[in-house]
Structure formats: C-alpha cells, structure tokens
Amino acid sequence: MRRLLSSIIATLILISLGAAVHSATPKPIVIGCNLEMTGQVAAYGQAAWEGINIVSQIVKPEALGRPVEFSLLDNKSDKIDTANASSRLIEKDNVCAIIGPMISGSMLAAGEVCEKKEVPIIGPTTTNPLTTQGKKYVFRACFIDPFQATIAATYCYRDLNAKTAAILSDISNDYCVALGNFFKQEFERLGGKIVSLTYCKAGDQDYSAQLTDIKTKNPDIIYIPNYYTEAALAVVQARDLGLTQPVFGADGIATEEFLSIGGKAVEGVMHTTFWHEKAAQSELSKKYVELYRAKHGADDEVNVFGALAADCYLIVLDAIKRAGSAEPKKVAEAIEATKDLQVITGSVTIENGDAIKPVVFREVKNGKWDYKTMVYP
C-alpha cells in the first residue's frame, strides 16, 4: 500500500513539474506575412521575406517577454488568394498583425478582410491612397501615389524641361492607372501637354501599337508607371523602334529584374522609389546594409522592397511593445500612434494609416541603379 501511495505521489509530482515547465514557456506572438512569393510580382514578395529575415537578426523577434514568430503564406500575386490568405492567418494562426501584400490591388482585397476582423495589416509598398482611406486597421510603410507621381511630373517638367509627355499604363492594375492619372493631372497643371495616353495589360509581350502612337506624337518624355516586367519590355521595344526620349518610371520598377530584362535598353531610365542605401545614415540602416552585402556581395544594390518589409517588422514590433499587448486592436492603435520611429529607410511617422516619408530619385547608370536625389514631403 505504501509503495502504491509513493508511486502515485511521485507521478503527481512529475505531472506537476511538467505542467510548471510547460506554463513557464511563454506562448509565441505570431505576425502573419501575406506575400507574393510566386506569380507576376514574385520578386517583390521574395525580397520582402528576405528583408524580414535580415532585420530580425538585428532586432531580436521578441516582445513582452515572449518570442515572436512569423507565419508566411504565398498569395501568388492574386487578389482573391491574398484575401483568402488574410482570413487564414487571422482565423487559423491567430496573428496579431499582418505584413503584406506588396501591391495595392491586392491590399484593397486584404484590407477589407482585416478591417472586418479588426486585425492590423501593413503594406510595405502599397502606394495607392485608397488602401488606407477610411480604414482603422490598414497601414502602409511607404509614401502614396499622388505624392510620387506629382514629384515625378514636376521633375520632368522643370528639371528635364519636358513640355509634352506620353503615358503608357497597365490598365489591369489599379496602381499603374492611378499613377498615370496623377502624373497627367500635375503635368497639365504645370502647363505641360499629354500628347499620347495608351494602355497595356499585365502579361503583354507586344507594345508596337502603343509605341507607334507615341513615336508619331514625338513627346519630350515617356512616363511608364508599370511593374518591372512590362515596363522593361516596353522600354526595350521603344528603343528598337527608334524612340530615344527619356523614360521615367515609378517604384514598380525598383528591382534587379527590371535591369536584367531590359539590359542596355534601360540605360538612363529614371524613376521614383522609396530608398537607396546611399541614404542609409543610422547605425540600424548601416547594419542592415552590411548583412545584405554579406549575403549578396559588395557590388549588389540593397533591395528597397526588402528594406520596406523590414520597416514593417520594426513598426509592428515597436507597436506591440508600446501597447504592452499583442491584442490586435491595441496593436493597431499603437501603429497609428507611431512617431519618429527609426527604421531601415530612415525615420517614420504614421498619420491616418499613411507613412510620412520622402521620395528618392534613381537612374540606371552602367547597368545599375544610381542614387540621384531625395525629395521630402
């Protein structure tokens, strides 16, 4: 009987110790990553995921005495898949916030889901102003399209002395159409004239009809606010057709893929973007550049999409710490209260879901992106 009692007591002690050990292990805080790992803009999502992994080596993924983990889902560069991925991250993975998607059209779909579920979502590069308009749970870590398009139009008109312009936009993407419209409005307001306004669709391979119209109108500048593949192909075909005018793009071409697809044809192309490593001034930024270069080589340019995704991680992590909670509503409130936070691309303040940040100008020189200047809001 005594042996039986001793055995029972020993078992209860072991169970108690096991429970104590289990309870001593803090439950992880989960941040969802809804990224374009495949599909039309896979380069964006892949760069974002890399950026998150690099910055987590600098700023440890932990908050409130708990480890922070990431749950990555591939949205396949598709609006419906992006919305579904947001639902899954919220309902199955119980995330406190979501980083991504990278493009505005997909964020419009994902944002609706997150707004209903009351879970914050932050886009590294979702520049369309409609993504955050009237939303409490949708944020961005970048400037908005009206700002970059207005700055681009002003630069073309005043600095490049362009009085006429052609616009070639991808009509299948909200981002591209909006940029073209904002550029047109500002260019005409300044006194310029849009002599050719043509459209293409994602996946198009032949731009001869649009470019022939542009050649006939002979503008001073060509504005192509499209994603990297379509923009590069259009520039290649423009040069083949004998068009020698300066070409200006937007943040959608800020990839190595644009350079590799376009080759020598894209030499001299200029564009607006979010950041360049030459603008890295803080110790945090310099460390990020150092780790990136250690992986890719000293000559490789630091990918801006990865840097902005890293910004999102830092914004969310800081919000969790300031909120003193991983409860989504409190995290969202803390993100909105972000002020002068040092992130990879500089200092960021969030107002009405939008990041207050400058625009960087770059130009392709000798087959690489070269920093030109920075314009502050």
Residue 375 pLDDT: 86
Give the pLDDT mean for 324-332.
98
User: Locate tokens 């932050």: which residue?
Assistant: 122
Residue 59 pLDDT: 98
78 token code pair: 């598709």
- Percent of the chain at pLDDT > 70 equals 93
Q: Which domains does the chain have, with CATH numbers?
A: 29-143+281-358 (3.40.50.2300), 146-273 (3.40.50.2300)
Q: What is the pTM of this model?
A: 0.85
Cα gap 188→175, rounded to integer Å: 20
Residue 24 pLDDT: 64
pLDDT of 11 > 90? The answer is no
Specify the DSSP element, H or E, that contains 374: strand 368-375
pLDDT of 15 > 50? The answer is no
- Residue type for 359, please? V
pLDDT of 2 > 80? The answer is no
CB hemisphere CA count around 136 (13 angstroms):
10
Task: Give the DSSP letter string of 188-223.
Answer: HHTT-EEEEEEEE-TT----HHHHHHHHHH--SEEE
- The more confidently predicted of residues 309 and 23 is 309
Residue 22 pLDDT: 47
Residue 377 pLDDT: 78
pLDDT (tens digit per residue) in 159-191 = 999 999 999 999 999 899 999 999 999 999 999
pLDDT of 226 > 60? The answer is yes
Residue 300 pLDDT: 83
Nearest to 225 by CA among 201, 249, 246: 249
Give the pLDDT mean for 115-122.
98
Cβ count near 199 (within 10 Å): 15
- Percent of the chain at pLDDT > 90 equals 88
pLDDT of 352 > 50? The answer is yes
DSSP code of residue 244 = -
Give the pLDDT mean for 126-135.
95
Q: How confident is the model at residue 288 (pLDDT cuts 50, 70, 90)?
A: very high
pLDDT of 19 > 50? The answer is no
Residue 44 pLDDT: 96
Residue 12 pLDDT: 43
Nearest to 85 by CA among 77, 74, 95: 74
Residue 13 pLDDT: 43
